[in-house]
Amino acid sequence: MFCCTGMQCVFVMQYHLHISGRLGGYRHMTAVLRQKYHLQVPMHTVREILRQVDPVGVLARRQHRLVRRTYWSRGPNHLWHVDGYDKLSQYGFPISG
């Protein structure tokens, strides 16, 4: 694992917030930085950077008022979305029941 500089962490966190949304907090972001980007960052540093980078998301999580995603489709049965436990999705088998 690599230690990252402050600006490198900011850029990686902004990128991840852009692609994943603002539902996760500092614990989730710390885990993502360690597992996906192989960056070793202390939790207090991630918490401080998130306060600067995503103040609206931090406030929403603090107030327990998260904004859910909105889906648009062309018509009935054009898009199906099922929430589930996708343990096998990393192997190409997204199964949900």
9-40 per-position pLDDT tens digit? 888 888 888 887 767 888 999 998 899 888 88
* pLDDT given for residue 88 in this prediction: 67
pTM of the complete model: 0.58
Average pLDDT, the chain: 78
* pLDDT given for residue 86 in this prediction: 63
Q: What is 34-50 written as a DSSP string?
A: HHTS-EE--HHHHHHHH
* Buried/exposed code over 29-51 (b: 16+ C-beta within 10 A; e: otherwise): bbebbeeebebebeeeebeebbe
